[in-house]
A and B are shown apart, each in its own frame.
Chain A
Amino acid sequence: MIERTAIRTAAVSVAALATTTVAQAEGELNLYNWGDYINPAVLTAFTEETGIEVNLDTYGSNEEMLAKIQAGASGYDIVFPSVHMHDIMYQLGLLAKTDIGQSENFSNIDPQFIRAETDPNAEYCLPYAWGNVGVVYNKTKVEEMSSWADLFDLAASGEKIVLLDDPRETIGIGHIMNGTSVNSTDEAEVVAAADVIKENLENVSAFSYDSIPLVTSGDVAAAHWYVGANIFVQQNPDVLAYYIPSEGATMYQEDMCVLKDAPNADNAKAFMEFYLRPEIAALNVEQQMNGTPNIPAQELIPDEIAENKSIYPDAETLEKLQIFVDLGQDLRLYNREWTAIKTAQ
């Protein structure tokens, strides 16, 4: 919550700065991003250099963003969908062709991060950031944890745990423990994965995104959370720890995309090119503590981030990270099981 306010304040001050000092006629740029998902210093730097005023609005999930854009929310230039949502938005004709892949600095981007099936040559979007989804726990409650099995054992021992309120992430844990793909559309596999959660349901206190304060205070011993938990681990190193479970985990990647009806398409392209610079991508990682696809930027980020195995895992762990793809109609299997999980007690 505090972070979010800080970002709002920063966005406001960025806007104020732009209008009062540098630019009059340079125009604006309207970003629509996940909450707490860009370092405000990046926006300030962009405004200082170009005089373009940056406005930032935030959303909490891909679906929320898509629903707003579909419902006709206009005025946004850049959105930050996950890879599977990038594909969906392409198919819905919501994205603008930017030819960012032709940009001079695009060679900075590690090609393995050009993941969207509908955009193999990066004609539309720029790979922005990536991370994994693992477990954050309170070290005063439990000594050492390293797997999903540990998490459920901890819960069975009477401690409280929280899982994410997200059908695919949470049923995904079941898939990983069963050794099936998190993108499985085989009904029996999805049911089996959901059963893993159902079997442990009694020991799961809640499904929530707001679990960090509860883990910090010790009200909850451990929670299913994003790699961004490292920000809080850094603030509270004696209390919190974050790990990628040994069975494997999911990973996510967001791409930076320009909307088809972007009012400031040129400024948007300028921002994308600005973000291709290694020092800017590194500046973002410094505060966000997540992964960047920008290869030279990885040289510039602080050692404690670059060497943190839960942020930049070794090749062996990396291989066990699965990324979500769009399931089309079969998403309903997951929603059906999700509803069943929520009513199974």
Chain B
Amino acid sequence: MVGRDTSQGRKMLSLLGLLAPPTVFLGVFFITPLAIMVIYSFLEPGLYGGVVWNFYDLNYGRILGWADTRYEKFDPVYLTIFLRSVRLALTTVLLSLVICYPAAFWISRMPQGRKNFFLFLITLPFFVSLVVRLFAWVLILRPTGFLNQALMEIGMIAEPLNLIFTDTAVVIGMTYVFIPFMFLPLYASIEKLDMSLVEASADLGATRLQTFRRIILPVTLPGIVGGSIIVFIPSLGNFIVPSVLGGAKVMMIGNLIEQQFLSARNWPFGSALGMMVMAAVLLLLMIYVRMMTREEEYSTAAKVKES
């Protein structure tokens, strides 16, 4: 009995030792800044940046509708910008999914050596600064740029396409940036896919489409959902891609927040906007977790039934 107690105590101790660093890390670098943001979003903006320590609900009022003074006026424009960001982020998710899904299948069926090489290639862009890569995209997309030159050379277009500084350029840029984030979770779940299931389905007379819908898709769904979330969240708050490739004409919520903290010197309003993005993301994550637990319950229930 005594022996078991000490071993349990030791287990507790090592658990504590293992959990303490990440807890402290999250506390310092996540919870504290978050708390500052929450508090700031309810304070009065200082004239030259910073905050005045008075309770102030007009930061949210400007977004949601009850502010109506000379300086703090409700404007539906903020929600419009938010919805536009959601639309661009969703397009990015869809596009990167369409590109990564077949690619992940293709790579997962390769021999080991080549597989590793391709995985390395996927992560290669991380070795170069994002800003440098985005300026390279300006060179590619501009009217006299590489893409237009190439398309005109092969005779596909007569006039240069108007790509740079448009929504399309922003979506292309974000898709490019976030492809590795989509690819890796997809790859993880596709690699685990048991090919014998697919074969069995074919043997039992399912068409290719049926096999895909009833076997492949459900099995790889966690990867799809995981990748989509990891792409959606940073796309939603992105401000560097729209400012470089969108020519700052395409304003996303991230640009609006950046503007509040810098040129507008309105930190509390910036915080309130940040909280709005965060609330949307949290909602999404909660739905995801709900979905995943339900699926787990379902699969355990199925297993219990089998036995």
Q: Could you list which residues of chain A lie within 8 angstroms of chain B, going by C-beta atoms?
A: 1, 61, 63-64, 66-67, 70, 88, 91-92, 160, 162, 165-167, 187, 204-208, 210, 214, 217-219, 328-329, 331-332, 335-336, 338-340, 342-343, 345
Contact = CB atoms under 8 A, between A and B. Distances in A.
Interface string B244-256: 1011110100011
24 contacts: A61-B262, A63-B263, A66-B49, A67-B262, A204-B249, A205-B247, A205-B249, A206-B164, A206-B248, A207-B248, A208-B247, A219-B142, A329-B47, A331-B264, A332-B266, A335-B259, A335-B263, A336-B75, A339-B78, A339-B256, A342-B249, A343-B77, A343-B81, A343-B251
A25 B80 CA distance: 59
A340 B76 CA distance: 10
Given A92-B48, A166-B263, A206 B247 contact: yes
A192 B109 CA distance: 62
Contacts of A206: 164-165, 246-249
Contacts of B81: 339, 343
Contacts of A187: 70
B71 interface: yes
B142 A331 contact: no
B78 to A, nearest CB: 8
B48 A342 contact: no
B211 interface: no
Given A61-B263, A217-B144, A340 B248 contact: no
B261 to A, nearest CB: 7
B133 interface: no
A206 B49 CA distance: 27
B243 interface: yes
A331 B263 CA distance: 9
B50 interface: yes
Nearest to A345: B249
Given A205-B249, A219-B143, A219-B164, A335 B47 contact: no
Given A88-B48, A339-B256, A329 B71 contact: yes
Nearest to B72: A332
Nearest to B166: A205
Contacts of B84: 343
- In the A-B complex, the 6 residue pairs with the smallest Cβ-Cβ separation, listed nearest first, are A206-B247, A207-B248, A342-B251, A335-B264, A206-B165, A63-B262
A208 B243 CA distance: 8
Given A208-B247, A342-B248, A219 B48 contact: no
Nearest to B141: A219
Contacts of B261: 67
B251 A339 contact: yes
A31 B265 CA distance: 24
Interface in B221-256: 243-244, 246-249, 251, 255-256
Interface residues of B, number: 37
A205 B47 contact: no
Nearest to A62: B263
A321 B1 CA distance: 89
A335 B266 CA distance: 10
A340 B73 CA distance: 13
Contacts of B243: 165, 208
A331 B251 contact: no
A342 B248 CA distance: 8
Given A214-B142, A219-B142, A336-B73, A331 B247 contact: no
A195 B266 CA distance: 24
Greatest chain A CB density within 10 A among B75, B144, B251 is at B251
A167 B248 CA distance: 12
Nearest to A340: B77
Contacts of A214: 142
B109 to A, nearest CB: 43
A75 B165 CA distance: 39
Nearest to A167: B263
Given A67-B261, A332-B264, A339-B81, 17 more contacts: A165-B248, A187-B70, A205-B247, A206-B246, A207-B249, A208-B243, A210-B244, A217-B144, A219-B143, A219-B145, A219-B164, A328-B47, A332-B71, A339-B75, A339-B256, A342-B248, A343-B84
Interface string B64-89: 00000011010101101100100000
Interface in B131-157: 135, 142-145
Greatest chain A CB density within 10 A among B75, B78, B262 is at B262
Nearest to A201: B249
Nearest to B165: A206
A218 B77 contact: no
A189 to B, nearest CB: 15
A67 B49 contact: yes
Given A63-B262, A343-B80, A207 B247 contact: yes
Given A217-B142, A332-B266, A66 B48 contact: yes
A228 B75 CA distance: 38
A61 to B, nearest CB: 7
A228 to B, nearest CB: 20
Contacts of B144: 217-219
A89 to B, nearest CB: 9
A339 B249 contact: no
Greatest chain A CB density within 10 A among B255, B261, B263, B266 is at B263
Greatest chain A CB density within 10 A among B48, B70, B73 is at B48
Contacts of A343: 77, 80-81, 84, 251
B291 to A, nearest CB: 34
Contacts of B249: 204-207, 342, 345
A338 B258 CA distance: 13
Contacts of A345: 249
Nearest to B264: A335
A342 B259 CA distance: 12
